[in-house]
Chain A
Amino acid sequence: MKEANIYLCGVGGQGIGMLSEVLIRACMEAGYDVMGCDTHGLAQRGGVVQSHLRIGEHIYTPLVPDGEADIVIALERLEAMRGALEMLREGGSVIYYNTTYQPMRVRSGAMQYPSQSDVEETVKKLNGNLHAVELEGLPDPRMQNVALLGRLAELELIEGLNAAVIRSVLKSVLPEHVLEKNLEVFSRASNS
């Protein structure tokens, strides 16, 4: 893929900032022109957070247009569903971490939280490819973002965005004291 739109989403506090930081730098390392943008709503925590990443030569604006994401990367199941519905292009890929953060309407019993098969069905309707990620025994749930990066590297949906490139960016971005554990998670998730 020479041009690509990547849309990342999750819940505030899950570590989308680090995920997007690593990804955009990795794309740059892989030799692409990049443009990106992090957005968050009113809440400091618990609201929807999104990040846009666009690569290619003719990119002038930072936001991925609705329905034109080649890849949707979600840190949470409900946000994977929302991200796919709003942003995924037909035939695109969705990678999400299978964890759940209930919004108010679910907590109060007014609405149902989507099941894994709800997400599958939605993505199928868009002829998309779905990859659910869940790693046993993560040392810290804040490493779910690194697990997603691992799966992305393994799939190499974007040419050149492979485990070696992402690993080297992780090394330069992550603080020393958490680096080793994160690299372990990354290796496990990427099978490399």
Chain B
Amino acid sequence: MERLPDLLIQEAPWAGLVMGNHALVRAMIEAGTMVVSTYPGSPTPEIAEAITSIAPEKRPMYFEYSVNEKVASEVAFGAAINGHPSAVFFKSVGLNVASDSVVQFGLMHIEGGLVVILGDDPGVNSSQNEQDNRHFCRMSYIPMFEPATPNEVYLMYLEAARLAQRRHMAVFLRLTTHVCHAREKVSFGQYIPQEFDWSPHFDSSKEGPYIAITKTVFPMKARALDRLGLVEAEGDESPVNAVLEPNGVSASLGLLRGVISASLPAMSLMENLKDSGAQLRLLKLGLSYPLPRKKILDFLRRHDEVLIVEELDRVMEAEIKMLAYDNEIHCAIFSRSDEFLSGELTSSRTMQILRQTWPEIFTPKLGRRTVEASVVPRTPLMCPGCGHRAAFYAIKKALPEGAITVADIGCHTMGSFEPYKMGEVMLCMGASSGIGSGLALGNRERRVLSFIGDSTLFHAGLPGIVNAVQYDHDFLLVVMDNGITAMTGHQLNAGSPEGGNISIEDTLKALGVKHIRSIDCYKKDELGTAVREALEIKGFKVIIAQHPCMLQFSRKTIRKLGEMPGLMSIDAEKCEKAYECSSVFDCPSFVRGEDGSISVHRELCIGDGSCRPSCPHTALELKKRKESAR
């Protein structure tokens, strides 16, 4: 089979089974995108993985993992105003971080064109909210494409890049989780390698102003609005905004009904309409902002009843109703009920919307019988050997009664779950220092401890730390340092030894943090003592709890040696069934037998030994895997 990295840069057209994220990379390459930047976050990491799977000397673009989404956007913008076609991508909430810069993009002349790719997450598959980033295009006067399938991801990136280059502007491409991860056969075009022109084309005297401030904003905004008008006119004609008739519409039909939709819900509707045979028209919007008002008005005029099916907020709906009101349209416009403001509009849920709207057309299907049975939940957890687990175990034992713990984003967020319960409040990346500072104000009774990961520290953690230094806020910050951006799939970051290799300890020292201790997470007693001592000190203090990501380490070792050399074993004579290892330390490698005995799961245990200090009866022994019987 052809390997993906080869296919991505193959010059001849090809067709293959790919996920949306990979189709996007082929589109970037065909479009001649010169600069691509990102900060990792689901559902977009596979875009970066595909780009970096191409060896650097063959990779037809500059790519970087920037320190956060804002910097990634600024890097792409800087390259784009220098004439180089650029793109930046990140997850939904990444736009909150980037938005201070991104909302300015609409005001600028962007010579090379810039595509801002968003990975929204309706249904909250792996994010801290399900925010609807369509609001941002309205705030920043930036057009938005919304592909619904991997094929459309490919085609619409090409469209978006062309539009961005032709009109020298920024364009949003909004993907959602199951568009990014959907897989289907996609036909790609030819890739014609070109010698990139890296000469700097930035010219503020000709294409400026680039300084938006006070009154200079008005002409810039006027230009942004003009551009939007031109894009809207294109959208009115563009085939990406299409009227579909999956079952035809016979002339004898009494009432004419239609649906307006975009993104994955439009595909759910296609499926529902095909299944039911209903003769409805579907106006599917691919270029959804600015709304193609002419096309929509025409659609409304041609129908008696129109339903609007959009995922998350009532964004299109509000504008379409306004449009209908202003134009005295008499078509009835229906909307979803409030229960559908949340979650994905899968084909089953879209069918429910259709049934609620038109019960006479969409009759209920006989559902499957419900079977009562309780199934044990399988909650997300840290991997065997994870340094975070060892640290949580030690810290929990060291914390005084009533202490308040503040979580942050990363694998260590899972410390907030049972059985550790380390971390009781969380907002977003890097917020734990600020929250900890506030919780400590005037608080003499309860000690405060905040956690933060190494990638997060550089991403958005530094301002909170600087602030804590300035005001000497009275809390303990524990940096959960595994040297990598683990949760999103092991991307190198500013602190990673093979990445930026910036020392966290030196950074904190330079910022003036007075009390810093670096301790290996596996050293339970030392870490516990350090936490107790630190909490005695008034003011701001930091413990760096270090241990490399053991999933990454064990993967590498297994690739080299075929298996992990060590394996934990339990000395049955010594074990008094205290269950400290299995229930309190809670490594998933421990297995509870029906008789209450504890054993070790060979496939899960990596022989790291981090559990050993947990046993009060020293029954845990590290053995050589080869020597311990199956």
Contact = CB atoms under 8 A, between A and B. Distances in A.
Interface of A: 11, 24-25, 28, 33-39, 41-48, 58-63, 65-68, 78-79, 81-82, 85, 89-90, 100-109, 111-114, 118, 122, 125-126, 141, 172-173
B368 A67 contact: yes
A108 B583 contact: yes
Interface of B: 1, 17, 19, 125-126, 149, 177-178, 181-185, 264, 267-268, 270-271, 274-275, 346-348, 367-369, 371, 373, 375-384, 411, 413-414, 418-419, 486-487, 489, 551, 579, 582-583, 586, 588, 590-592, 596, 601-604
A166 to B, nearest CB: 14
Nearest to A88: B368
Given A35-B182, A43-B414, A62-B178, A107 B590 contact: yes
B264 A61 contact: yes
B185 A89 contact: no
A113 B17 CA distance: 38
B381 A82 contact: no
Given A172-B1, A173-B1, A85 B375 contact: yes
Contacts, number: 169
A107 B592 contact: yes
A59 B382 CA distance: 36
A42 B409 CA distance: 11
Contacts of A103: 376-379
B61 to A, nearest CB: 26
A101 B380 CA distance: 13
Nearest to A84: B371
Contact of A61 (B181, B268, B375): B268
Nearest to A35: B184
A173 B264 CA distance: 30
A109 B579 contact: yes
A125 B371 CA distance: 7
Contacts of A141: 602-603
A65 B347 contact: yes
A80 B455 CA distance: 36
B245 to A, nearest CB: 15
Given A47-B379, A78-B376, 9 more contacts: A11-B378, A34-B184, A36-B183, A37-B19, A62-B181, A68-B368, A90-B369, A102-B592, A173-B1
Contacts of A25: 17
Contacts of B592: 102, 106-109
B383 A44 contact: yes
A7 B603 CA distance: 24
Nearest to B183: A36
A106 B418 CA distance: 13
A56 B626 CA distance: 48
B23 to A, nearest CB: 13
B381 A46 contact: yes
A42 B126 contact: yes
B434 to A, nearest CB: 23
B126 A41 contact: yes
Contacts of A65: 346-348
The 9 closest A-B pairs by CB, nearest first: A43-B380, A172-B1, A67-B368, A62-B182, A45-B383, A60-B267, A103-B378, A42-B380, A47-B380
Contacts of A122: 371, 373
A82 B271 contact: no
B381 A47 contact: yes
Contacts of B603: 141
Contacts of A79: 378
Contacts of A34: 17, 183-185
B185 A61 contact: no
21 contacts: A45-B551, A46-B381, A48-B378, A61-B346, A62-B182, A63-B178, A63-B346, A67-B368, A79-B378, A90-B368, A101-B588, A102-B591, A102-B601, A103-B376, A103-B379, A104-B379, A104-B419, A104-B586, A105-B377, A108-B592, A109-B579
Contacts of B601: 101-102
A45 B489 CA distance: 11
A151 B1 CA distance: 24
A104 B381 contact: yes
Nearest to B180: A37
Contacts of A85: 371, 373, 375
A163 to B, nearest CB: 19
Max chain B CB contacts within 10 Å: which of A67, A112, A118, A172?
A67
A44 B583 CA distance: 21
A42 B375 contact: no
B378 A61 contact: no
Nearest to A48: B378
Contacts of B582: 107-108
Nearest to A126: B371
Most buried by B among A45, A47, A173: A45
A37 B377 CA distance: 22
A35 B486 contact: no
Contacts of B183: 24, 34-38, 62
Nearest to B598: A107
A36 B182 CA distance: 6
Given A48-B378, A102-B588, A141-B603, A58 B271 contact: yes
A89 B369 CA distance: 9
Given A46-B381, A89-B368, A101-B601, A107 B588 contact: yes
